C-alpha cells in the first residue's frame, strides 16, 4: 500500500487528552470488558504513554524503555536478527529479573518500528490494544511494548520455528509432513474462531502464511494485529474500511466493496489451506500465467479426487490420508466461495478438520517433524538435475528448491526465489496493499 494511505489512517489516533475519557476507559478495563480499538484510538486527544498505561491497566503488559530493549537484544545486533516485515526488523532477545525484578526469564522477539517505513503508530497501537487484551493458545503472546518519543517497539514470546511461510516456501527448510500441516491448519482455525466468536468479535484482516508463527512443537499462533478491526456492532452486517491486506489472500467482495466481515477472514483461511495442500504461494509470478493465482488455478480441482491429486504438493510424496486430504480440500473449496454467506464459520471448520488428525489411511510411519538440514548428498544432486530438466509436474516445491544448490540448478533456483520475493513480499515485508480504495 502507499505511504499516503497509511498516513491518512493515523489521523484518528492522535486527538487531545481527556482525563474523563481515560477514567472511563480505565474503569471499563477494570471491569474486564475488552476495550475496542476505536474507544482508545479515537479518544479526544493525543494518547500519551501514561494514558495508554492507564487504559490497559488490567492487561499485564510490561512497559519497557528503549534502553532496556537495546540491552536485551545485544544492541539490536545482526546476530539476533530474525527477519523483517512491513513494520520493521525483528530481533531475538532474552529477558529476566535483571531487566525487571520478578520477571520470568524467557526468550523474546522484539519488533522495532522502522521510522522510515510505511507503517506507524496506528499499527503499533492496534497490536498493543488487541493483543494486550486477547489471550488464547493460538494467538502469539504480547509481553510488553515501548512507547518512547517517536520509538515504537513490541515484545512478544519467542516462536522458535518462525513463520509458516518460511517452512512452506523457503529453501533450507525440509518439507512439512501432512500431519504437521494439518495441525497448523487446525490451530490457526482455532485462533480465528476465537477472534470471531469472542464477546466483541475481531476481524483479523491479514491472515496469511507469514503471520502464522510456529512454536517449538509447531503449534501455530497468529501474530500481527496491525490491520485487525473490531467486528460490526448492533444491526450492522459489516465494517466499511479502506481495502488493506495482502494480494492473493484478500476476499474478492472486500476488494470490490471495502465491506469487511468475519467471512473475509474465512476466505483468507481458505487460501492458506490451499497453500498447505499444494505447497504453492497464493501468488507466484514465476509460474506460467494461468497458474500464477493459486485460487483461480486450484479451486476447480478441489472437488474432483483425480484432479486434486494432481495439484497436491509433490514433496509430500503422497504420505497423507487421502480421505483427510479430500475433506480438507472440500473445506478450502467452501471457504473460497464467492458468496461470503456460503462460507463456513471458523468453528465449523475446526469441527471438520480436527478429527482428520486421526485419519491414517495411506500413511506410512508416524507423526514426524521436519528438521532443518544443510546437507546436499549425491542422491539429491541427481534429483536436482531432474528438477532442472523440468521433469515432474512443474510444481517447484521447497524440497526441490532446498536441493537446488549446484551449478546451473542453483542459479535457476535463485532467480525463482528472487522474483518470487519481489512480487509476493519484499524483504521489508508488505502488510501489502491490494487496492487503494476509500470506502470510509
Ligand atoms: N514472536 C516471534 N518469534 C520469532 N520470530 C518472529 C516473531 N515475530 C516475527 N518473527 C519473525 O520476524 C520476521 C518478520 O515478521 P513480521 O511479522 O514483522 O513480518 P512479515 O509477517 O514477514 O511481513 P508483513 O509485514 O507482511 O506481516 C518473520 O520472518 C518472522 O519469522
Ligand atoms: Mg507478519
Q: Which atom of ligand 1 is nearest to the CA of 431?
A: 26
d(CA 288, CA 178): 26
In the set 51, 114, 206, 230, the catalytic residue is 206
Q: Are 166 and 248 in contact (CB under 8 A)?
A: no
| 36 pLDDT higher than 50 | yes
The verdict on the CB of residue 109 being under 6 Å from ligand 1 is: yes
Q: Which atom of ligand 1 is nearest to the CA of 86?
A: 25
The verdict on the CB of residue 83 being under 6 Å from ligand 1 is: yes
For residue 91, the CA-to-ligand 1 centroid distance in Å is 10
Residue pLDDT, tens place only, 225-243 = 988 888 887 777 787 777 8
Residue pLDDT, tens place only, 323-376 = 999 999 999 999 999 999 999 999 999 999 999 999 987 666 544 444 444 433
Indicate which residue's Cα is closest to atom 22 of ligand 1.
Answer: 85
Indicate which residue's Cα is closest to atom 7 of ligand 1.
Answer: 109
Q: Quick one: pLDDT at residue 343?
A: 98
| 14 pLDDT higher than 50 | no
Q: Is 256 exposed, middle or buried (0-12, 13-18, 19+ CB in 10 A)?
A: exposed
Domains in the chain: boundaries: 17-157, 162-403
CATH topology identical between 17-157 and 162-403: no
d(CA 158, CA 175): 22
Please give the backbone phi and psi of residue 153, each rounded to the nearest 5 degrees, phi first: -130, 160
Average pLDDT, the chain: 78
d(CA 284, CA 424): 7
Q: Quick one: pLDDT at residue 18?
A: 44
- pLDDT range class, residue 418, cuts 50, 70, 90: very low
Looking at domain 162-403, its CATH class is: mainly alpha
Indicate which residue's Cα is closest to atom 31 of ligand 1.
Answer: 162
| 437 pLDDT higher than 90 | no
Q: Which atom of ligand 1 is nearest to the CA of 430?
A: 26
3-state secondary structure 114-155: CCCCCCCHHHHHHHHHHHHHCCCCCECCEEEEEEECCEEEEE
| 168 pLDDT higher than 90 | yes
* Closest of 195, 60, 81 to residue 138, by C-alpha: 195
Indicate which residue's Cα is closest to atom 18 of ligand 1.
Answer: 85
Least confident of 21-25, 101-105, 193-197: 21-25
For residue 89, the CA-to-ligand 1 centroid distance in Å is 8
Residue pLDDT, tens place only, 120-160 = 888 899 999 999 999 999 999 999 999 999 999 999 999 99
Q: Are 90 and 111 in contact (CB under 8 A)?
A: yes
Residue pLDDT, tens place only, 186-221 = 999 999 999 999 988 999 999 999 999 999 999 999
Q: Residue 290 is placed in which grid cell?
A: 494461468
Residues 52-60 have a mean pLDDT of 72
Superfamily of the domain at 17-157? Phosphorylase Kinase; domain 1 (3.30.200.20)
Q: Full-prediction pTM beyond 0.95?
A: no
Q: Quick one: pLDDT at residue 223?
A: 94
d(CA 273, CA 328): 8
For residue 329, the CA-to-ligand 2 centroid distance in Å is 25
Q: Which atom of ligand 1 is nearest to the CA of 246?
A: 26
d(CA 148, CA 13): 16
Q: Quick one: pLDDT at residue 46?
A: 65
Q: Is residue 304 annotated as a catalytic residue, yes or no?
A: no
Amino acid at each position: 500500500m502507499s505511504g499516503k494511505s497509511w498516513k491518512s489512517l493515523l489521523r484518528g489516533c492522535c486527538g487531545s487528552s481527556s482525563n474523563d475519557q481515560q477514567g472511563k476507559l480505565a474503569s471499563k478495563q477494570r471491569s474486564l470488558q475488552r476495550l475496542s480499538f476505536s474507544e482508545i484510538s479515537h479518544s479526544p486527544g493525543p494518547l500519551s504513554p501514561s494514558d495508554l498505561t492507564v487504559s490497559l491497566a488490567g492487561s499485564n503488559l510490561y512497559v519497557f524503555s528503549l534502553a532496556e530493549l537495546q540491552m536485551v537484544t545485544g544492541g539490536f545486533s545482526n546476530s539476533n536478527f530474525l527477519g523483517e516485515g512491513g513494520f520493521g526488523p525483528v530481533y531475538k532477545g532474552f529477558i529476566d529479573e535483571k531487566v525487571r525484578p520478578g520477571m520470568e526469564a524467557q526468550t523474546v522477539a522484539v519488533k522495532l518500528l522502522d521510522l522510515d517505513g510505511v507503517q506507524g503508530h496506528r499499527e503499533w497501537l492496534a497490536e498493543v490494544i488487541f493483543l494486550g487484551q486477547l489471550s488464547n493458545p493460538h494467538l502469539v503472546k504480547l509481553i510488553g511494548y515501548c512507547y518512547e518519543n517517536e520509538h515504537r517497539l513490541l515484545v512478544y514470546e519467542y516462536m522458535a520455528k518462525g513463520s509458516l511461510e518460511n517452512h512452506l516456501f523457503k529453501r533450507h527448510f525440509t518439507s512439512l509432513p501432512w500431519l504437521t500441516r494439518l495441525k497448523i491448519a487446525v490451530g490457526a482455525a482455532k485462533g480465528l474462531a476465537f477472534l470471531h466468536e469472542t464477546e466483541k468479535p475481531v476481524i483479523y484482516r491479514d491472515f496469511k502464511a507469514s503471520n502464522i508463527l510456529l512454536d517449538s512443537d509447531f503449534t501455530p499462533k497468529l501474530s500481527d494485529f496491525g490491520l485487525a478491526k473490531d467486528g460490526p456492532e448492533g444491526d450492522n452486517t459489516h465494517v466499511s474500511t479502506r481495502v488493506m491486506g495482502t494480494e492473493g489472500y484478500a476476499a474478492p467482495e472486500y476488494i470490490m466493496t471495502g465491506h469487511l466481515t468475519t467471512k473475509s477472514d474465512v476466505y483468507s483461511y481458505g487460501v492458506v489451506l490451499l497453500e498447505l495442500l499444494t505447497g504453492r504461494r497464493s501468488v507466484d509470478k514465476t509460474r506460467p500465467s494461468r497458474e500464477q493465482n493459486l485460487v483461480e488455478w486450484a479451486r476447480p480441482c478441489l472437488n474432483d479426487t483425480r484432479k486434486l491429486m494432481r495439484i497436491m504438493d509433490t514433496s509430500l510424496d503422497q504420505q497423507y490420508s487421502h480421505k483427510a486430504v479430500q475433506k480438507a480440500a472440500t473445506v478450502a473449496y467452501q471457504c473460497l466461495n464467492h458468496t461470503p454467506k456460503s462460507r463456513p464459520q471458523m468453528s465449523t471448520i475446526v469441527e471438520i478438520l480436527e478429527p482428520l488428525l486421526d485419519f491414517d489411511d495411506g500413511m506410512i510411519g508416524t507423526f514426524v517433524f521436519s528438521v532443518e538440514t544443510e546437507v546436499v548428498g549425491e542422491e539429491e544432486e541427481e534429483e536436482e538435475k531432474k528438477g532442472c530438466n523440468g521433469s515432474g509436474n512443474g510444481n517447484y516445491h521447497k524440497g526441490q528448491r532446498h536441493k537446488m544448490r549446484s551449478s546451473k540448478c542453483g542459479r535457476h533456483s535463485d532467480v525463482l526465489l528472487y522474483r518470487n520475493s519481489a512480487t509476493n513480499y519484499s524483504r521489508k515485508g508488505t502488510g501489502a496493499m491490494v487496492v487503494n480504495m476509500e470506502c470510509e
